[in-house]
Amino acid sequence: MIFTATTLNGAFLIEPERRQDERGFFARIWCEREFAAAGLQTEWVQCNISFNRQRGTLRGMHYQAAPYEEAKLVRCTMGAIYDVIIDLRADSPTFRQWLAVELTADNRHMLFIPQGFAHGFQTLTDETEVFYQMSQFYAPEYARGVRWDDSAFKIAWPADKRIISERDQSFPDFLLWRRAQPSGDRQSYAGEQRHCPRPEAWGGR
């Protein structure tokens, strides 16, 4: 596998290294030793899929609060997505910065997302499926999010007619939330988020 560091501290784009012949190709998409050598998470406790019927479906920006912070390994197994992450670690040199990559069933790229990041995507085609490997069990009472169009981040999304859940549109403003917290709580946004609606079902991830 080919590991490429992104502009966000600790996040990597991972490309399978194909061995091709007249039949097609063979490629490895997971190897504990290779991930460990790159200094990345090597223990995954859950795998999830997200199926999206229509182009323009936007899910995000989601994360879990401490002590259930989670790393993710994300790839697109059908269709294509515009995949977005935000660094919410207050002590990180890339705090509040975002990154977008295109993950498709054709390019087979993967995005490694460290703990303390928010994650979301917008589908670029109909009938899109996303596959997640998760380092932490889902804990709905610790599910949190930041709004996809929050001016604190100014994420540039693809122009399209969007389908967004009510929950994802109701996350609080990041800067307003941050100013309202005692100074000690500001050290890690991923550690807590008050007045945030909880998801009614795990499928909202």
Residues with catalytic roles:
62, 132
Residue written as token pair 């490429």 = 4
Residues 6+ apart with CB under 8 A from 80: 102, 103, 104, 105, 106, 123, 124, 125, 128
Of 131, 80, 121, which Cα lies nearest the Cα of 100? 121
φ and ψ at 166, to 5 degrees?
-60, -40
- Encode burial over 142-156: b for 16+ CB neighbours within 10 A, e otherwise: bbbbbbbebeebebe
